[in-house]
Homo-oligomer: A and B are copies of this chain.
């Protein structure tokens, strides 16, 4: 294997990602990818087998990158509300990012043909956020800072409140909220969540 191989792979994936996100997966031809990143169709088949192989790699790297960007600092010196506000803002911002929205659209479209891809994306994407929040809530509960019986269910609720209408609307191409709206919505959702928690379950 040549040393340039890995670089070429990344170039192909970068080009494919950009085109898939911009136009959609079925709407992007292999020739367009080649045109964007140079090289020959043969190379593309050598590395990825077929078109779906490219998509798998795009989704894999896309989710990986998102996970690395979404860094939620769990610092016990910071008050609970503030930490949740920050988490909420990050969550809304991530959900409304073109990166995630485009992946959602593609995976939803392909889920009819490729259930495996859908499950993969679900576990690496949405369920990852759920997992992070559940762990955090669990920890807070153990420290007595929060009264919940079921951390996973509580996480589902907070995430649902955070999503609100944004996600559905963004998914259908409506404009994303501003940074200010995201902050405000996150704060309101967290407040509402904590009030509900003070008694619930």
- Which A positions have Cβ atoms within 8 angstroms of B? 23-24, 26-27, 105, 107-109, 111-112, 115, 118-119, 121-122, 126, 130, 153, 156-157, 159-165, 168-169, 171-174, 188-189, 191-193, 195-196, 198-200
Contact = CB atoms under 8 A, between A and B. Distances in A.
A109 B109 contact: yes
A165 B130 contact: yes
Contacts of A168: 122, 126
A174 B122 contact: yes
A24 B111 CA distance: 11
Contacts of A195: 195-196, 198-200
A200 B195 CA distance: 7
Chain A: interface secondary structure? helix
Contacts of A162: 160
Contact of A157 (B24, B115, B192): B192
A63 B187 CA distance: 34
A130 to B, nearest CB: 7
Nearest to A114: B173
A172 B23 contact: no
From A121, A122, A156, A168, residue with most partner B Cβ within 10 Å: A168
A199 B107 CA distance: 40
Contacts of A173: 111-112, 115, 118
A163 B165 contact: no
A76 B66 CA distance: 48
Contacts of A174: 118-119, 122
